[in-house]
Amino acid sequence: MNTVTRHFDNYNDYAEAQARLDYTLDRQRHTPPAPVQHYATYHDVEGVATRRAGGWTFQGAGSVDTWLVSSQDSDLVLLGDKTLVDAQRAADEFVGGFAAMVCNRQ
């Protein structure tokens, strides 16, 4: 158990701060990390590849089937981190999309 290092004049304030710290650390300890996902192609099929302990799982766009793919398989081509790509796409759409960005360039 970690303890709060700040000095509190009132025990209730200290107890509340300690409870918040315990709650935060417990959430960090028990929240699994998000899996690493990339946009990818596998045998010319576009989709999303997710990092797993045994390699990668690949799910084609619009498909419900997933394939377990070895990390050594050269047919799996990772294109870009899904989180970063989706964030950039959202930012582009916020300003009107790619066409608006090109047409409004000065």
The rounded distance, in Å, linking the Cα atoms of 25 and 17 is: 12
Looking at the fold, whether 89 and 50 belong to one and the same domain comes out as: yes
- The per-residue pLDDT for 68 is 93
* Domain containing residue 10: 1-31
- Please give the tally of structural domains in the chain: 2
Same domain, 53 and 80: yes
Give SS3 for 76: strand
Question: Dihedrals φ, ψ of 90, to 5°?
Answer: -65, -40
DSSP 41-82: EETTEEEEEEEETTEEEEEETT---EEEE-TT-TTEEEEEEH
Residue 10 tokens, joined: 């009132």
Distance of CA 74 to the CA centre of its chain: 24
pLDDT beneath 50: ranges in the chain? none
